Amino acid sequence: MKTIHDILKLGDPRLYEVCEPVLKSDLTLVPEWTQQLHEAMEDIRRVYGFGRGIAAPQLGIMKRMFYLNLDRPYIILNPELKVLSEELFELWDDCMSFPNLLVKVKRHQSLTLEYLDENWEKQSWTVEGAVSELIQHEYDHLDGVLCTMRAIDEKSFKWKG
């Protein structure tokens, strides 16, 4: 069972790597990866009280995959961000890889996400606001980008609690 202790922490070099695409031959591994991501996210929720999504590289799975648990679970494979709005908004972002730190960032207000689901079927999802921000955050992990690297300025950091 995966827990908060399995989540890679800020400074781990794997968090800065660009992930490889999920291959169709990897589909047999996707249920196990999904279960591991779900378990780690549930532990973060239990300990820290937050968590709507987690990217595979946060558990050292260096594949272009993330897991969201919103109104239902979403398994996102090989995502592509399309139609990013010009309108941006600022927010204090948090991350499971540094759960006590908040980082002020700018994100696109809306976007369209194209991806493959767990059945290798193409999906398209247009979102805005909080879900748009969440998708951008998780997508960044797949490219080795952390929200600390997107801070608005050097004063855009604060401790939680």
Catalytic residues: 138
Q: How many C-alpha atoms does 112 have within 13 Å on its Cβ side?
A: 6
Please say whether the beta carbons of 125 and 113 come within 8 A.
yes
> Cα torsion at 156, 50, 81, 152 (round to 10°)?
0
Residue 147 marked ligand-binding: no
Residue 141 marked ligand-binding: yes
Residue 137 marked ligand-binding: yes
Say how many residues make up the chain.
161
CB-based contacts of 156: which residues, under 8 Å, 6+ apart?
Answer: 103, 104, 105
Helix (H) or strand (E) holding 45: helix 30-48
Annotated binding site for Fe cation: 95, 137, 141
Annotated binding site: 95, 137, 141
